[in-house]
Amino acid sequence: MSHRATVLVVDDDEDTVETMRDILREEGHVVLCARNGREALELVSEKRPDLVLLDLNMPEMDGRSFLETIRNDPALANTHVVVLSGAPDAPRFSCESVSKPLRLDTLLALLERVADAGKAPLPVSTTRIGGDPSD
């Protein structure tokens, strides 16, 4: 990937955030982190990341409230968001979802899709980031 993406990781699980941050930085991307939707909303407004990786179940402002807020704001409505949970209501918010734990090659493919204007399909993935490998 030639474009260094700015990625916002939004999750209240510190291990998940740390793992994704380390991997994304190693790949050369700029990484922003938020522990809840309120922090994420502030960062999205200020930094305009290329991609938001969003957990739905968080304290303060959960992922659903965050999505509703940005989708109703014309300046933020086109923010590329991927829900990290496989929640069945993700399509309702005009975003895609992937199951946690997120596989490494799925994460890298998401970044490629952002760089290529979303034209490339996600590949079948084999490497997981965190979680139980027997899942």
Instruction: Spell out the per-residue pLDDT of the chain, length 135, in tens.
Output: 446 889 999 999 999 999 999 999 998 999 999 999 999 999 999 999 999 999 988 988 999 999 999 999 999 998 989 888 756 665 666 677 787 778 888 888 888 877 775 433 333 222 344 444 443
Specify whether the CB–CB gap between 15 and 59 falls below 8 A: no
**pLDDT at 132 (0 to 100):** 45
The model carries a pTM of 0.80
CATH pick for 6-115 out of 3.40.50.2300, 2.40.30.10, 3.40.50.1260, 3.40.50.300: 3.40.50.2300
Specify whether the CB–CB gap between 98 and 81 falls below 8 A: no
**pLDDT at 91 (0 to 100):** 60
**pLDDT at 95 (0 to 100):** 74
**pLDDT at 38 (0 to 100):** 96
**pLDDT at 63 (0 to 100):** 92
Specify whether the CB–CB gap between 98 and 67 falls below 8 A: no
Residue with tokens 């992922």: 63
Long-range interactions of 16-20: CB distance < 8 A, separation 24+: 16/55, 16/100, 16/101, 16/129, 16/130, 19/129, 19/130, 20/53, 20/102, 20/107, 20/129
